[in-house]
Chains A and B, each alone.
Chain A
Amino acid sequence: MALNPKKHEMPTQAPEVRAHNFNEVALGYTEEIALEEAKRCLNCKNRPCVAGCPVNVNIPDFIMKIKEQDFEGAYRIINETSSLPAVCGRVCPQETQCESKCTMGVKFEPVGIGRLERFVADWHNANATEAPKAPESNGHKVAIVGSGPSGLTCAGDLAKKGYAVSVFEALHTAGGVLVYGIPEFRLPKSIVAKEVETLKALGVDVQTNVVIGKTLTVDELFDMGYEAVFIGSGAGLPNFMNIPGESLKGVYSANEFLTRSNLMKAYRENPVTPIMKGGKVAVVGGGNVAMDAARTALRLGAEHVYIVYRRSMDELPARKEEVEHAMEEGIDFRLLNNPVEILGYNNPENPRDPKNGFVTGMRCIRMELGEPDAKGRRRPIPIPDSEFTLDVDTVIMAIGTSPNPLIKNTTEGLEVNNHGGIIVNEDGLTSRERVYAGGDAVTGAATVISAMGAGKVAAKAIDEALSTN
């Protein structure tokens, strides 16, 4: 039988429908499609895809189980290395990781590994009857700071080895960026809640409403009997451009905008947390967060949404699939444009005019690409005298985030780099004994799966450190 040269399409909600709801865009493979897609895996000998995965999921093995229609078996194989399969199957950039290494991909489209992973995880969540059991305790206690992807992964790996693990989360819901950052239409919150429940069944103790650095310090965690601490506190502090007008009403950081919508459920009808709706929206930035913010604004009822990015389509850092989805939904990409000032309403006659101080537009300048910078990306250069005004009511800044300084400021001897990222060695060990770190708290804003990889590395190092004495 000839191999299908193309990946099986992911069934999705039609763009004109999904642009007005918060339901998941990608609907997932059916059993039939999954079986057909699994047949495209050559089960090649050198398995390059496994090396392309930051947590080294045994990809060909789980795909073979799909072929055998043993979906639970496939889940068990993924779960050996990944604590969050339903999450990774949805938000990993497979096209630059496992799938980019796929042997099929040399001549044809690679196997749809991410889509198969999602299928397996969803099948398990819908059909599995056996709850995971907590393994026998090894008597050691470990504290995890933050319940995002790195923290949950580190917690899961250690719990499976018998450690008594406590996860401390500052917000009221566990999941970190998976719940406050990534919108419902890309990663349903029920999926994250389910993954957290699975970890709890393994014996992981999740304590919400505890801010490490405030409610308790890292040193106090040691006093409480924890023998090692993993810091996965993420990159929570939004960056701004420092251009005039950023304090006007209607200027948000993407973090605030997405938190209001996702965590505080402002996307629902009659929410208790306010959020701006309607009007014209400009999102500044070109990463996944920018796409998420733009598509959230659209779903909240914006009449027109722009993405304003200073480089061109080739340099857009967002996942290709997200950019395509955004375009299909009607997001207007204004590339090679850079904001220089945000304009606001001001009635000089009446300082109490309620419209005063609200955004009315954004001055932008056109850009062209010059020589590549240190990272190899072509540097954008402003074109003189090319300024123009974009007529908008809301501006969302999605130009990156930095690690929150709270833990650094309250943990003596914890060294950070000049971007605020915690400095670690190859095992995730910080400058403090028995204190490990990983994810965005170390790297600054990056991907879910790289954070999971870091959580995994640290879990292994913590296990080695604690089991040898």
Chain B
Amino acid sequence: MYKIIGKKNLNPTVTQMEIEAPLVANKALPGQFIILRVNEDGERIPLTVAGVDKARGTVKIIFQIVGATTELLNAKQEGEYIQDFVGPLGVPTHMAGIKKVCIVGGGVGCAIAMPVAQAFHEKGAEVTSIIGFRSKDLLILEDEFRACSDRLIVMTDDGSYARHGNVTVPLKEMLEAGETFDMIITIGPLIMMKFVTLTAKPFNVPVTVSMNPIMIDGTGMCGGRRLTLIEDGKRVTKFACVDGPDFNGYEVDFDEAMSRGRMYFDFERHAHEETCNLLKGAN
């Protein structure tokens, strides 16, 4: 059992939790993820590590309430326990040799992008962050990004806060103005990562994408999180949990990944509705 040390709502559907897990805290690096189960018989869900405190032995996670499991997790309070918490899994974000980086985060993906930006900042790299949200209500981690970015651009799709438009707009402007980066790292919805990759392509800037969104359950054993990379023209199957979560954006078959991501959509929605009704009954 793993104790919840702290809990904070970042926006109406995004929650941050600090979990006591000293072995994981001791090892976790930016870009890695953990897997948790809220209770016995619960589903295994992967969540990216959003920060660690080695001294206190705690790991920070940030999650969006999207289904039955995240709803159950959100119902847990500070001082309570979750059943299982395992990690760190996946390959840490590759940082060597990168002196100038552009971090592009979208929505709750910013929770994953933020510790990556922090790590580059601590290493002395020049950090440009572009973070985008659907609207002002959904904005998270603005202060945290500001603290670790040499330049921060906030975007909202509906123009309700900061600049109006999506994240590819300022990225394109910068690249067209002759700006260069050693690496663009993008974390967010698959469709956003696809377009960030397409935007960067004409300028030959390397793009790393985080394939966290397509993960479902574990340690590489199931093969459920496989995705297809196109390496030298050949289609190669990879496992997001073992080989990733970070991949070369130019090699990922985004359309296939988006299609696979919708595989259990109806099931999730159904489970979500059932849980809501259950909670209604309890009130």
Binding site for B on A (CB under 8 A): 170-172, 180, 208-211, 214-216, 236-238, 240, 242, 246-247, 249, 252-253, 255-256, 259-260, 264-265, 270, 272-274, 354, 356-357, 404-406
Q: Which of A236, A259, A272 has the most CB of B within 10 A?
A: A272
Q: Which residues of B contact A249 (CB under 8 A)?
A: 259-260, 263
CB contact between A255 and one of B24, B222, B259 (< 8 Å): that residue: B222
Q: Which 5 A-B pairs have the closest CB atoms?
A: A256-B222, A253-B223, A236-B221, A209-B86, A357-B259
What separation, in Å, do the CA atoms of A172 and B84 have in the docked complex?
A: 7
Q: Which of A242, A255, A264 has the most CB of B within 10 A?
A: A264
Q: Are A215 and B259 in contact (CB under 8 A)?
A: no
**Distance in Å: Cβ of A346 to nearest Cβ of chain B:** 10
Q: Are B219 and A252 in contact (CB under 8 A)?
A: no
**Distance in Å: Cβ of B273 to nearest Cβ of chain A:** 13
Q: Are A214 and B223 in contact (CB under 8 A)?
A: no
Q: Are B87 and A214 in contact (CB under 8 A)?
A: yes
What separation, in Å, do the CA atoms of A439 and B1 have in the docked complex?
A: 30
A210-B86, A259-B222, A404-B221 known; A274 vs B23 contact (CB < 8 Å):
no
Q: Are A180 and B89 in contact (CB under 8 A)?
A: no
Q: Which residues of B contact A406 (CB under 8 A)?
A: 219-220, 242
Query: Is the CB of B268 closer than 8 A to any CB of chain A?
Result: yes
Query: Is the CB of B168 closer than 8 A to any CB of chain A?
Result: no
Looking at chain B, what size class is its interface with the partner chain? 35 or more
Q: Are A253 and B222 in contact (CB under 8 A)?
A: yes
> CB-nearest residue of chain A relative to B226?
A247
CB contact between A208 and one of B84, B221, B224 (< 8 Å): that residue: B84
Query: Is the CB of B88 closer than 8 A to any CB of chain A?
Result: yes
Q: Which residues of B contact A270 (CB under 8 A)?
A: 274
Q: Are B84 and A404 in contact (CB under 8 A)?
A: no
Tell me which of B40-48, B104-112, B182-190, B201-209 binds A. Answer: B40-48
Query: Is the CB of B228 closer than 8 A to any CB of chain A?
Result: yes
Q: Are B217 and A405 in contact (CB under 8 A)?
A: no
What separation, in Å, do the CA atoms of A236 and B41 have in the docked complex?
A: 22
Knowing that A211-B89, A272-B43, A273-B44 are A-B contacts, what are 14 other residue pairs whose CB atoms are under 8 Å apart, sorted by A's residue number?
A170-B219, A172-B37, A172-B86, A208-B84, A215-B23, A236-B221, A237-B239, A260-B222, A264-B217, A270-B274, A272-B41, A273-B43, A405-B242, A406-B242
A interface: dominant SS: loop
B interface: dominant SS: mixed
**Distance in Å: Cβ of A68 to nearest Cβ of chain B:** 42
Q: C-beta contact mask, B241-264 vs A, less than 8 Å → 1, else 0?
A: 010000000000100100110111
A216-B23, A265-B41, A405-B242 known; A211 vs B68 contact (CB < 8 Å):
no
Q: Which residues of A contact B237 (CB under 8 A)?
A: 240, 242, 246-247
What separation, in Å, do the CA atoms of A270 and B23 have in the docked complex?
A: 34
Q: Are A247 and B242 in contact (CB under 8 A)?
A: no
Q: Are B223 and A247 in contact (CB under 8 A)?
A: no
Q: Are A171 and B219 in contact (CB under 8 A)?
A: yes
What separation, in Å, do the CA atoms of A255 and B242 have in the docked complex?
A: 15
Q: Which residues of A contact B221 (CB under 8 A)?
A: 180, 236-238, 255, 259, 404
Q: C-beta contact mask, B3-45 vs A, less than 8 Å → 1, else 0?
A: 0000000000000000000011001000000000100011110
Q: Which residues of A contact B43 (CB under 8 A)?
A: 264, 272-273
Q: Are A404 and B222 in contact (CB under 8 A)?
A: no
Within B37-82, the residues touching A (CB, 8 Å) are: 37, 41-44, 68-69
> CB-nearest residue of chain A relative to B221?
A236
Q: Are A214 and B89 in contact (CB under 8 A)?
A: yes
Q: Are B44 and A172 in contact (CB under 8 A)?
A: yes
CB contact between B224 and one of A210, A216, A240, A256 (< 8 Å): that residue: A256
CB contact between B69 and one of A237, A259, A260, A272 (< 8 Å): that residue: A272
A215-B24, A357-B259 known; A404 vs B242 contact (CB < 8 Å):
yes
CB contact between B88 and one of A214, A259, A405 (< 8 Å): that residue: A214
**Distance in Å: Cβ of B231 to nearest Cβ of chain A:** 13
> CB-nearest residue of chain A relative to B243?
A405
Query: Is the CB of B85 closer than 8 A to any CB of chain A?
Result: yes
Q: Are A236 and B219 in contact (CB under 8 A)?
A: yes
Query: Is the CB of B83 closer than 8 A to any CB of chain A?
Result: yes
Q: Which residues of A contact B228 (CB under 8 A)?
A: 247
Q: Which residues of A contact B195 (CB under 8 A)?
A: none
**Distance in Å: Cβ of B163 to nearest Cβ of chain A:** 29
Q: Are A214 and B256 in contact (CB under 8 A)?
A: no
What separation, in Å, do the CA atoms of A210 and B42 have in the docked complex?
A: 18
Q: Which residues of A contact B88 (CB under 8 A)?
A: 214-215
**Distance in Å: Cβ of A176 to nearest Cβ of chain B:** 10
Q: Are A211 and B87 in contact (CB under 8 A)?
A: yes
Query: Is the CB of B147 closer than 8 A to any CB of chain A?
Result: no
